[in-house]
Structure 1
């Protein structure tokens, strides 16, 4: 406690007046060394911190500074009237004209938080957030883009973590109603950034688009399933599983498929109606695209086997008629499928007849020679 008699202390009003004339560095230093000062002016210090970290451009700024900058850049000799100034400031309001963005950049005051995020200056980011709190964490650039979105786009994991820890809204939207999980950061830090966002309650605008963004990521299936679970009750449409799996099969994202079927074995039975083949399964799609390793994975994960019609048979070398019980086995016999896929099928419990298996293997060997 201070030993200075209460009557001799500087009045609060005078302290506040003195604080108004201090620069930010002096004010910050004084607030750290003087607890009474910090406690007395906590709100004012916070406001100063917010204004410092995230300065805004109000219409008066546009009128007094930006319009002059435009005149200097383009027609130094022209006289811009007050009416023209007012009209132009009203048109561009609080955001920069995209056409003049780079030319006017030198005339716009810097945003310390934006600069610190862009240049990976995480100590500075943390200091600004610690003082400014949730208001700074939810700050926006001059283009009205949330700072969280900027950190995600740059792929700066630590900046994303700090913003979320200090109260940034994980579902904040920009002017185009795009959320943080809709952004596609660089591939290397993408999984870590998506994990931070999901753990903070983030939900993508589209589960289907999010699913296609995580196909090539380690743990991508868990990211999608967690996003799906978080979106429960929000009215967000369920992922278009067929489209996501078709992309995964086409791109041969085997790890994604294996992981998702481990957590959701029911999805391996997915199928769709086709006007020609009637029912098309994921196995059919994989074989048609010659993704035979994926087809073998589907079989081992329990993909349903469809009963074959009566005319699916062949004769072995002893002229014995061999009935093929499932369409999937028949398809493998008449494609260039590797032995791995046939082995996966013959391991299924539905095919217990060893004599049948031997006949199928012999037939497959003959067909491979015929197909080259």
Structure 2
């Protein structure tokens, strides 16, 4: 027989081996248990049919490798060794001591011993990669383990997403969310990613990723306070409020947030808020001194006159002044001030910028005595003190 024909015959026979004569799937999976990760991965890439059979095994291996967990048997062994090393002892430790040490993991003492026991913990590749900013490794681990790895936790039950946020690792946050990390996952203290204070350099980018992924803070009010001095913070707050629709959460305490913004002179935040939510300009509160205190009143009282001018230009409501709000001009004419806000600006010696903003309002466009009011403002601003000025200030 020709050798070449023999070769062809053998090849044909191997390719036509009946399926019943091939290695059963159960046996393949059993063999896979004894392969190391590298061998299993290579075998899966070599043979397409193996890849299909080993898919679950590979994912399980990837998860166990990226975010390994600790079981009681680990602690019974490792904690005993840790005590031996710390005390320089090599003798056998009693069974009762072993049992007590094993319970440390689930005890409150565990958190306090974190620095001491950290050296004895096995490594978590995903945790290490996030901490060191090795984003290529983060991406590979997430591709292998998927959403289970993305929502993994370290040995102190801290979600990997929280760790990335706290460290300001913006790219790690992006990768975790891209691979299915829950932006609203809570740690054991019921904190969410948006509740964590982010390093300043990564503030806006980190929050934007979380908000775009549907993140909601556990306290809309506290989140709003954190957004005051952040560029684009007002839009982030409004987007989080939108994400929270239908969750049963109420809107934040707007009065407190806006007063804080006025006090801190966070002009950008206020402009963004009022551009998107103009109705907030009309907020007011009662006080012991006045039945109605507006945001304008707060700005004037705090001497935040530039902010008061902003409120006026954005459309804060002007309130009619009583009939006794008048003064005598240089021509001995009695000039009635039509609005309480104009009166306050005039007799608290506010800068001209505030009075100009008020006099430009449509309500005062045809007011006949604008020049008299400007003249009175210049005269009052030029006086250090006078009985006349004091009289009007007392009436505010």
The CA deviation string for residues 34-59 of structure 1, in whole angstroms up to 9 with x for no partner, is 32222111111111100000101111
Please give the alpha-carbon distance, in whole angstroms, between the structure 2 residues aligned to 1:10 and 1:69. Answer: 45
1:226 to 214, 231, 239: 239
The CA deviation string for residues 5-41 of structure 1, in whole angstroms up to 9 with x for no partner, is 5468555445434432333233333333332222111
Question: How far 1:204 moved relative to its partner?
Answer: 0.9
Question: How far 1:124 moved relative to its partner?
Answer: 0.9
Contact 1:95 1:142 (C-alpha < 8 Å) held by counterparts: no
Contact 2:104 2:110 (C-alpha < 8 Å) held by counterparts: no
- Summarize the alignment of residues 113-132 of structure 1 with structure 2, pairs less than 5 Å apart: 113-132=126-145
Which stretch of structure 1 is more off in the superposition, 84-93 or 56-65? Answer: 84-93
Please give the alpha-carbon distance, in whole angstroms, between the structure 1 residues aligned to 2:148 and 2:177. Answer: 12
Question: How far 1:95 moved relative to its partner?
Answer: 8.8
Helix, strand or coil for the counterpart of 1:170? coil
Please give the alpha-carbon distance, in whole angstroms, between the structure 2 residues aligned to 1:354 and 1:76. Answer: 93
1:50 to 63, 77, 84: 63
Give the equivalent residue in structure 2 for 1:82.
95
Which stretch of structure 1 is more off in the superposition, 92-101 or 306-315? Answer: 92-101
Please give the alpha-carbon distance, in whole angstroms, between the structure 2 residues aligned to 1:326 and 1:227. Answer: 37
Distance 1:77 1:41, change over 3 A: closer
The CA deviation string for residues 152-204 of structure 1, in whole angstroms up to 9 with x for no partner, is 11111211111111111111110011111111211232222222212222111
Contact 2:174 2:209 (C-alpha < 8 Å) held by counterparts: yes
Which stretch of structure 1 is more off in the superposition, 102-111 or 42-51? Answer: 102-111
Helix, strand or coil for the counterpart of 2:172? helix
Where do 5+ consecutive residues of structure 1 fail to align? none
Q: Does residue 1:276 correspond to 2:258, yes or no?
A: no
Contact 2:211 2:240 (C-alpha < 8 Å) held by counterparts: yes
Please give the alpha-carbon distance, in whole angstroms, between the structure 2 residues aligned to 1:233 and 1:12. Answer: 47
Helix, strand or coil for the counterpart of 1:21? coil
**TM-score, length of structure 2 as denominator length:** 0.88
* RMSD of aligned alpha carbons: 2.1
2:149 to 117, 136, 139: 136
2:34 to 16, 21, 36: 21
Contact 2:325 2:337 (C-alpha < 8 Å) held by counterparts: yes
1:249 to 262, 270, 276: 262
Contact 1:59 1:93 (C-alpha < 8 Å) held by counterparts: no
Give the equivalent residue in structure 2 for 1:190.
203
What number of residue pairs does the alignment pair up? 371
Give the equivalent residue in structure 1 for 2:9.
none
Where do 5+ consecutive residues of structure 2 fail to align? 1-11, 386-396
Distance 1:43 1:193, change over 3 A: same
Helix, strand or coil for the counterpart of 2:157? coil
Contact 1:336 1:371 (C-alpha < 8 Å) held by counterparts: no
Contact 2:62 2:144 (C-alpha < 8 Å) held by counterparts: yes
Please give the alpha-carbon distance, in whole angstroms, between the structure 2 residues aligned to 1:4 and 1:86. Answer: 58
Please give the alpha-carbon distance, in whole angstroms, between the structure 1 residues aligned to 2:108 and 2:138. Answer: 23
The CA deviation string for residues 133-167 of structure 1, in whole angstroms up to 9 with x for no partner, is 11111100100001111111111121111111111
Contact 2:349 2:377 (C-alpha < 8 Å) held by counterparts: no
Larger Rg: 2
